Amino acid sequence: MGETTTTIDPILPSTTTGKDDTTTDLSTQYDTPLGLAHTTMQALKDRIKLHYDLASDYYLSLWGEHIHHGYWPTPESKSQETKETAQINLISLLLSISSISDSPLKVLDVGCGIGGTSRYLASELGCTVTGITISTKQVEIARRLSSSSKVVEEKEFIPHGKGQVRFIELDAEKMGEYFDGKEKFDVVWISEALSHFPDKKLFFRNAERVLKAGGKVVVADWFKGEGLGEREFESDIKPIEDGMLLPPLCTQKDYVQFAEEAGLKVLGGPKDISQDVSKTWDISWSLVQNPSLWAFAFSQGRDGIAFLQAFRAMRRGYANGSFRYAVMSFVKDQ
């Protein structure tokens, strides 16, 4: 990491609480107004794909193969456990809340990133996992990390531990028609991807469509708090939606409603673990204090800078309680 000088960020709202929101000279130099609206949903999808195509190598180098939050459920874990251990803790929590044990299930990992969770479910539980992502680059990295011995065709499964994995480039909004009539899954797993989807109701309908009877939907995601005022929304949530390339964030109750409308029943949760995952963004903010990363973000234009600047809004939102994180699971009737 490059050595940097920190200064107090002059643009943070006075409502910031409980966090050290220092920033580098670079982030001040590259500051950009946040909270701009997206244009069309297709334009947003294109920007999401471009972002992950360009940034996934950086995610791998900075955050590792599991590009999701860590979970530190106790004071001892917060002081002693690494982010890598905490990331596995989150997967374990999702398995627990959905009552999934060591069995060779067929899993659809939606928004699989570079395949960390897919490989874990295959190697540790013996699952057959299909990971889908909108990013060409993420599919390439996921296949490379899963098999260094050969070139892998798109629909080919790769043996991994006790199970196997494959990775397909696919817009998740099309998963219902893509898999319909071809195969059914025991589990649809989605971790920190649904918040990117313009039509979240469609996801739950598609999940119900591709699940076997008795199949489960496992969700971890980002949410806005209930009953936010305009000032809280403008200060904490809008910059996150902008910088993280998100359509409007939902509440946890919204997801439950969407799932039930799709014919699914609540199995576990929602379990709010906001304070047990917030350390993720303290670590992330320290990791991005690297001049080369800011230079890379600058090369992407406004979206790149807004993405890094949104890290502060994430930390602020967790501290203020306006930004939430929860896990939940649903089941399809037998």
What contacts 173, CB < 8 A, 6 or more positions away? 197, 198, 199, 202, 203, 206
DSSP 3-state of 107: strand
Joined tokens for residue 31: 């500051």
Domains parsed from the chain with CATH numbers: 6-332 (3.40.50.150)
- In this structure, the dihedral spanned by the alpha carbons of residues 192, 194, 196 and 198, taken in order and rounded to 10 degrees, is -170
**Residue 181's pLDDT is what?**
80
DSSP code of residue 234: I
Q: Which pLDDT value is given to residue 152?
A: 62
pLDDT of 40: 65
pTM of the model: 0.85
pLDDT given at position 149:
57
Whether omega before 270 lies within 30 degrees of 0, making that bond cis, reads yes
- Report the candidate in 300, 238, 328 with the shortest Cα–Cα distance to residue 58: 300
pLDDT under 70: residue ranges of the chain: 1-40, 148-154
